[in-house]
Amino acid sequence: MLFNIPFQADWNKIGDYRQCQTDLNTVHENKSQIEKDYQPGDKVLLRKDGILRKSESKFHKEPWTISTVHTNGTIRINHGTKSEQLNIRRVAPYFSHLHHVSLSMLTLTSSACTNVPKCHLGYTIFYL
């Protein structure tokens, strides 16, 4: 049954809540971003193009070496006799297996749930 009761929406509070949710989601999304300044001589993995099967990896297995870094967001990479110039979004930093394990262990230990973000309205969001 519906009652004829007027509803007064507090649009400022609703807007503040939505902005708080947006800020918390942005912080959560940016936690996984790795800021990397590529230098000549660094090794990178090249992202595969096209549609991949679930069993395939997104990256090629062998590392490529950066020969030059350009200011427009592109790099020139070499692998044997092959050389390509491409955008930095198509590559990922290459870590040797031993270094990659220690880096992941460091990330797991430093991301303990000690700093839970709260918005000014008193809401707490937990990400699992």
- Kindly tell me if the per-residue pLDDT of 71 is higher than 60: yes
* DSSP helix/strand/coil, 73: coil
User: Mean pLDDT throughout 68-91?
Assistant: 91
Is a pLDDT exceeding 60 seen at residue 4?
yes
Q: Could you give the CA distance from residue 20 to residue 37 in angstroms, rounded to a whole number?
A: 31
Question: How sure is the predictor about 24, in pLDDT bands with cuts at 50, 70 and 90?
Answer: very high
Q: Which fold has domain 37-48+55-128?
A: SH3 type barrels. (2.30.30)
Average pLDDT over residues 61-87: 91
- Judge whether residue 112 has pLDDT over 50: no
Mean local confidence (pLDDT), 96-114? 46
CA distance 24 to 126: 10
Residue 37 tokens read as 């300044």
Q: What is the mean pLDDT of the chain?
A: 77
pLDDT at 57: 74
pLDDT interval class at 103 (50, 70, 90) = very low
pLDDT at 118 over 80: no
Contact (Cβ atoms closer than 8 angstroms) between residue 87 and residue 72: no
- Stronger pLDDT, 78 or 128, i.e. the higher one: 78
Question: Alpha-carbon distance 62 to 45, whole Å?
Answer: 7
Side-chain-side CA neighbours of 7 within 13 Å: the count stands at 5
pLDDT (mean) for 92-116: 52
50 pLDDT tier (thresholds 50, 70, 90): confident
- Whole-angstrom distance, CA of residue 9 vs CA of residue 18: 14
